[in-house]
Every structure is written in structure tokens, then in C-alpha cells.
């Protein structure tokens, strides 16, 4: 008796099932993908996920907040960052619930927003390619935030990293009914200060009301912080007002120059180390030395050379323009430090014997290869360049913070106008930088925007707003190509990278060719 073994294949029904079922599953996944939204934030500090302070904004609101993102459709289609901005705003909508009304509108399609200029949103020029031609299109982008009858505008928003800080700041100001305020005090007249420190005014005005103060006038204690820029020309009356602001426990940012440079007189140095402002800081325990720091890590200075009838603009290494990325990692201001560019900076130290109740913390440091220039100082780039040979293994403190107890420098009002004189405070909060130029228009030479970031972070800390400071510094990164600060090592690395970039591709092709040749020879022999 024989047995026949047969392999039975799938029936026609099973064949149909295995063919159609994957298609059905695929179609269901496509449909569900439109209903279920999934977004993963893979950035190191979750900069595209709103923080706790932003999520809690809406818990105590009596009326809803409206956020309207006005953006040209052309930008939405061509710039990926626009979708990131929309994603973050939708995160606000998710946590705001019924307390937040969110709209994204295209001014070219929505008649209600067909005139963005009337809302304060100015047109921007954007290059596009249409029909194989490069053209300049007029586009709009801005965020309008409304609460009750108040409104705030975030113009020309294009950076998703800083979006949450700006939106949360605007919502907090609107719902609290007032904007934070900061005073700026300089040696000159307020109009001159707004020109000289224009970039700082512009950035501070985005998050606070900025008041230009005149030396000697009473400083309102309603200010959240005070910026003292310069100060060598302040008399006793002006300094007394600053001193009493400190004694009230208010935060003060000092950017001071014991030796200043006259930019209009061929970089002529001017000694101001005996100015009363340094006596007051000294009584607080802070010493700003009348020296300049030369650093191996530095910025070049523009120099004009005359060769015959020609004038040639070049850049020369200039150790007096310090470029540093060395910040105190444990302090909130410099927890994510993008660096500072300092121009003719002086070192800072603290004398605990003069102020045993204060606590000083170094904040910003030079590199570990520096030298100090004593008076009489030189500013000529050629002469300064010769001093590079004097660099030693030493690090200088360029900025620091003082907290805790401070006693007033004054026994009373020198003008006799303040009967409620304050003699001390246990809650001092000061930031001191040994450079009065690092927030001036000099920052445009090397686009030193990180100087402004440092000032804004200091403002948040001086105003005791730690939550907003942490939120602000989430998006700060050092994006400049200066991770290697040693000039010789940087030059060697650049040369090696160039050599590798030029030679790597031919070398790889050569190796592949040799391998292919050997392989073909072996096959031929077999």
C-alpha cells in the first residue's frame, strides 16, 4: 500500500486575505495618523516642549488669552522653523484648554488681517525662486497676544528656541496688568546713552519698560533692576542714589572702566581709577583693578594701513579684546554660557575684610593664558601684539556677583535731602563686569550678541525671577565656531581639517580602486 505525500498550498481565500489585509492595515494607519498627533522632542534640553512655568500660566486666569500667529503662507511652505513655531504654540493650546484661543492666519488669505502693518507687523523681504527666477517677496510674521483690552506684539519671530520665553513673558505681563521695568544710568545724557547702548535698549525693551535716568535724580524703587554703565563721571549725589537703591535690596548691574578708551581720539586711554564709583564698590568689597587683561584667546581689531596712495583695511590679533567662554557653571546666569566678548577689560577681586557679610562669586573668567598690562597702558595693536610673549599660566576674574550683606558707603545723604537714609542691607544683589564697553555699539564689529544675552540673563536674576531666568537660558547656546580658544591649536585644527577635507575623498577612491583591482585579479586567477 503506497502513500502519496502532497504539499497543499494556501487556498484562494487565504491568498486573498494575505494580499488585502496589509493594504487595509496601511490605509487604517494613514487615517489614524491624521487623527492622532505625535511629536517627539529630541533636543537636549527639550526646547520645543513648554516648561512648567508656561503650563501653569492659565490656571488662575479669569478670562481667556488669545494668541494669533500672523505668518505668510509662503514662509510656512519654505521655512521648516515656521512649523516648529506652530507646534510650540499648539503646546500652549493643549495646556491652556478653554482659557486660550489660538489662531494661525495667512494675511494674504484672511481679510481680517489683510493689513498687518496696522497691527504693528512690518513687512520683511524674503528671497524666493519662482519660474526659475530669483525674486524678492514681501512677507509677514508676528505673534499678537491679547488679554481683555490689552495687547502685546512679538514681531518678526523666526527662532523657535526663544519663542517660549517671549510668549510666556508677554502673557505674564498682560495678565498681571503691568510690564517689568529697568533703569539705565550712564555718564552722558539719556539721548546719548540710547544711541551708544542702542542694542541693549532694543533687547531690554522686548521684555521690560526701559527708563533712561539722569545722574543725580532719585531712582524709583519700583524698578526691577538698574543698569549702571560707566559711572566714572558720577558725583557724590548721583552715587548716593545708586547706593540707596542697593540698600533697598534692589538688583544693580555695574559695567565699569577704571581705564576707558576714547574711540574718537585714536584709542587714547583715559585713567579714571580714582573716580568715586570705585570707592563705593571698594566699600562693598569689590576691587576693580586699574589694569588691562591681555588674553591669548582674543578677537582681531580692524586696522587701516596706508600703502602709498592706497588704504587697506585688515584685522590684527588684539589681546586686549578678550574672547571667553569660561563661565561659572553652577550660577543661574552662566549655567548655559554662550561666552562674552570684552573690550579693554579689567580684573575683579573681592576683599572679605572690607565686607565680611557679603558673598562674592566669580562669574566669568579669562582663559588660563593671560597677562596684565599696568599703567601707562598702550592701545596700539602693534605694540600690544608684542606683549603676547608675556602670557603666563594664570586665569583672571572678569565678572562676578555679590549677594548678602552690604553697608552703605555714605553716613547720610550728602545733599541732606533724604531723611530716611538706609545704612545697610542683608539682601544685596549685584553683578559687576570690569568693562564698560562690552554693551556699546562695539558689539557690531564681531556680532557679539552673546553679550546681550548675558545682560538679559542678569536682568532676570537681579529681579529675583529665577523661573524666567531658567526658561530664558534653555535656548542659549554658543553657536560660534570658537570652541578651540588657543590660537595655535585652532590654526592647526583648521589646517588639519582642510587637509582632511581635500585629501579624504581621493584617498578613499584610491583605496576602493585598489580593492576592486585585487578582487578582479583573484576572480581572473580562479
* pLDDT tens-digit series, residues 37-49: 555 565 655 656 8
Which three three-digit cell numbers place residue 515?
580593492
Residues 106 and 191 in one domain: no
Neighbours of 7 (CB within 10 A): 4
The SS3 of residue 367 is: coil
Asked if residue 405 is part of any domain, the answer here is yes
Q: Which residues pair with 122 in a beta bridge?
A: none
pLDDT at 281: 97
Q: Is the pLDDT of residue 369 over 80?
A: yes
Count of C-beta atoms within a 10 Å radius of residue 293: 27
For β-strands 298-307 and 310-324, DSSP reports them as antiparallel
Assign 501 a pLDDT band (cuts: 50, 70, 90). low
Domain count, the chain: 2
Q: Please indicate, yes or no, whether residues 357 and 304 belong to a single structural domain of this protein.
A: yes
- Cβ neighbourhood burial of 275 (10 Å; 0-12, 13-18, 19+): buried
Average pLDDT over residues 202-216: 94
- Cα separation, 84 vs 163, whole angstroms: 10
Looking at the fold, whether 444 and 326 belong to one and the same domain comes out as yes
> Which CA distances in Å does 138 have to 122, 124, 396?
10, 6, 49
Q: Say what percent of the chain tops pLDDT 90.
A: 53
Both 328 and 435 in a single domain?
yes
Residue 467 in this model has a pLDDT that exceeds 80: yes
Asked if residue 239 lies in contact with residue 280, where contact means CB atoms within 8 angstroms, the answer is yes
Q: What's residue 250's pLDDT?
A: 97
CA distance 5 to 197: 94
Are 239 and 293 contained in the same domain? Answer: yes
- The set of cell numbers assigned to 357 is 557679610
Instruction: Indicate if 280 and 406 belong to the same structural domain.
Output: yes
Residues 140 and 192 in one domain: no
Same domain (yes/no): 304, 452: yes
Q: Are residues 230 and 126 in the same domain?
A: no
517 part of a folded domain: no
Pair (150, 207) in one structural domain: no
d(C-alpha 322, C-alpha 391), whole Å: 13
For 349, counting Cβ atoms within 10 Å of its Cβ (0-12 exposed, 13-18 middle, 19+ buried), the class is middle
- pLDDT on residue 465: 87
Q: Do residue 184 and residue 308 come from a single domain?
A: yes
**Cα distance between residue 334 and residue 397, in whole Å:** 14
Is 62 within a domain?
yes
Residue 497 has pLDDT above 60, yes or no: no
On the question of pLDDT at 207 being above 80, the answer is yes
| Mean per-residue pLDDT, 67-80 | 87
Asked if residue 233 is part of any domain, the answer here is yes
Q: Using omega within 30 degrees of 0 as the cis cutoff, is the peptide bond preceding 376 cis?
A: yes
pLDDT surpassing 70 at residue 493 = no
**For 258-272, what is each residue's pLDDT tens digit?**
999 998 888 999 999
Backbone angles phi, psi at 84, to 5 degrees: -60, -40
Looking at residue 126, its pLDDT comes to: 77
In a domain, 498, yes or no: no
Cell numbers at 10, concatenated = 494556501
Cell (9 digits) for 359: 558673598
Domain assignment present for residue 447? The answer is yes
Q: For residue 490, is it within any domain?
A: no
- Spatial CB neighbours of 159, under 8 Å, sequence gap ≥ 6: 81, 475
Q: What was the pLDDT predicted at 270? A: 94
- What gap in Å lies between CA 96 and CA 396, rounded to an integer? 48
Those residues with Cβ within 8 angstroms of residue 100's Cβ, 6 or more apart along the chain or in another chain: 58, 64, 65, 66, 67, 92, 93
Using CB atoms within 10 Å of the CB of residue 463, give its burial: 0 to 12 exposed, 13 to 18 middle, 19+ buried. Answer: buried
* Distance of alpha carbon 523 from alpha carbon 99, whole angstroms: 75
The dihedral formed by the CA atoms of 255, 256, 257 and 262, expressed in degrees to the nearest 10: 60
The SS3 call for residue 102 is: strand
* Average confidence (pLDDT) over 287-297: 96
Strand bridging mode 392-393 / 181-186: unpaired
Domain of residue 82, CATH code: 3.40.30
- Looking up cell 589694569 gives 291
Q: What backbone torsions phi and psi does residue 207 show, to the nearest 5 degrees? A: -120, -5
107 and 206 assigned to the same domain: no
pLDDT category at 115 given cuts 50, 70, 90 is confident
The cell for 116 is 498687518
Q: Is 305 within 8 Å of 314 (Cβ atoms)?
A: yes
Confidence (pLDDT) at 168: 93
Tell me the average pLDDT of the chain.
85
| CATH number of the domain bearing residue 223 | 3.40.50
Name the band, by pLDDT with cuts 50, 70 and 90, for residue 152: very high
Domain membership of residue 169 (yes or no) is no
The DSSP line for 265-313 is TTSEEEE-TTSHHHHHHHHTTEEE-SSEEEESSEEEEEEEEEETTEEEE
Q: Nearest CA to 250 among 197, 190, 186, 182?
A: 182
Last residue of a domain, one of 457, 473, 489: 473
* Rounded distance between C-alpha atoms, residue 227 and residue 210, angstroms: 10
Domain that holds residue 347: 180-473
Whole-structure pTM value: 0.80
pLDDT digits (tens, 9 = 90+) for 2-14: 555 454 555 555 5
Of 121, 155, 189, which marks where a domain is finished?
A: 155
Average pLDDT over residues 143-150: 93
Amino acid at each position: 500500500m503506497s502513500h502519496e505525500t502532497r504539499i497543499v498550498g494556501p487556498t484562494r481565500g487565504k491568498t486573498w486575505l494575505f494580499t488585502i489585509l496589509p493594504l487595509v492595515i496601511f490605509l487604517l494607519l494613514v487615517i489614524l495618523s491624521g487623527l492622532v498627533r505625535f511629536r517627539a522632542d529630541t533636543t537636549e534640553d527639550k526646547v520645543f516642549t513648554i516648561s512648567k512655568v508656561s503650563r501653569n500660566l492659565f490656571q488662575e486666569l479669569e478670562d481667556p488669552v488669545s494668541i494669533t500667529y500672523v505668518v505668510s503662507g509662503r514662509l510656512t511652505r519654505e521655512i521648516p522653523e515656521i512649523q516648529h513655531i506652530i507646534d510650540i504654540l499648539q503646546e500652549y493650546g493643549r495646556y491652556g484648554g478653554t482659557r486660550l484661543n489660538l489662531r494661525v492666519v495667512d494675511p494674504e488669505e484672511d481679510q481680517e488681517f489683510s493689513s498687518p502693518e496696522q497691527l504693528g507687523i512690518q513687512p520683511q523681504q524674503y528671497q524666493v525662486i519662482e519660474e526659475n527666477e530669483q525674486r524678492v517677496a514681501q512677507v509677514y510674521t508676528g505673534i499678537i497676544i491679547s488679554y481683555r483690552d490689552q495687547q502685546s506684539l512679538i514681531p518678526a519671530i523666526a527662532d523657535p528656541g526663544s519663542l517660549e520665553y517671549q510668549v510666556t513673558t508677554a502673557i505674564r505681563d498682560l495678565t498681571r496688568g503691568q510690564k517689568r521695568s529697568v533703569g539705565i544710568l550712564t555718564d552722558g545724557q539719556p539721548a546719548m546713552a540710547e544711541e551708544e547702548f542702542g542694542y541693549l535698549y532694543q533687547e531690554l525693551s522686548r521684555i521690560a519698560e526701559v527708563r533712561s535716568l539722569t545722574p543725580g535724580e532719585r531712582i524709583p524703587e519700583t524698578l526691577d533692576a538698574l543698569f549702571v554703565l560707566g559711572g566714572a563721571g558720577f558725583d557724590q549725589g548721583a552715587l548716593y542714589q545708586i547706593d540707596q537703591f542697593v540698600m533697598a535690596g534692589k538688583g544693580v548691574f555695574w559695567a565699569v572702566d577704571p581705564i576707558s578708551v576714547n574711540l574718537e581720539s585714536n584709542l587714547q586711554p583715559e585713567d579714571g581709577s580714582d573716580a568715586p564709583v570705585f570707592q563705593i564698590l571698594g566699600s562693598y568689597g569689590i576691587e576693580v583693578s586699574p589694569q588691562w587683561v591681555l588674553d591669548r584667546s582674543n578677537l582681531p581689531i580692524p586696522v587701516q594701513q596706508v600703502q602709498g596712495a592706497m588704504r587697506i583695511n585688515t584685522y590684527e590679533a588684539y589681546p586686549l579684546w578678550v574672547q571667553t567662554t569660561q563661565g561659572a557653571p553652577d550660577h543661574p546666569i552662566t549655567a548655559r554660557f554662550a561666552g562674552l566678548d570684552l573690550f579693554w577689560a579689567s580684573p575683579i577681586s573681592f576683599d572679605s575684610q572690607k565686607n565680611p557679610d557679603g558673598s562674592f562669586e566669580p562669574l566669568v573668567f579669562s582663559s588660563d593664558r593671560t597677562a596684565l598690562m599696568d599703567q601707562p597702558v598702550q592701545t596700539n595693536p602693534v605694540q600690544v601684539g608684542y606683549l603676547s610673549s608675556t602670557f603666563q599660566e594664570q586665569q583672571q576674574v572678569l565678572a562676578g556677583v555679590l549677594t548678602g550683606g552690604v553697608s552703605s558707603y555714605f553716613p547720610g545723604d550728602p545733599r541732606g535731602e533724604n531723611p530716611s537714609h538706609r545704612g545697610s542691607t542683608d539682601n544685596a544683589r549685584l553683578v559687576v563686569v570690569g568693562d564698560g564697553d562690552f554693551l556699546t555699539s562695539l558689539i557690531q564689529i564681531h556680532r557679539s550678541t552673546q553679550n546681550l544675552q548675558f545682560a538679559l540673563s542678569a536682568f532676570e536674576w537681579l529681579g529675583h525671577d529665577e523661573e524666567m531666568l531658567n526658561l530664558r537660558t534653555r535656548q542659549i547656546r554658543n553657536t560660534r565656531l570658537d570652541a578651540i580658544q588657543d590660537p595655535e591649536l585652532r590654526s592647526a585644527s583648521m589646517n588639519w581639517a582642510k587637509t582632511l577635507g581635500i585629501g579624504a575623498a581621493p584617498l578613499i577612491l584610491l583605496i576602493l580602486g585598489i580593492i576592486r583591482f585585487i578582487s578582479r585579479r583573484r576572480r581572473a586567477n580562479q
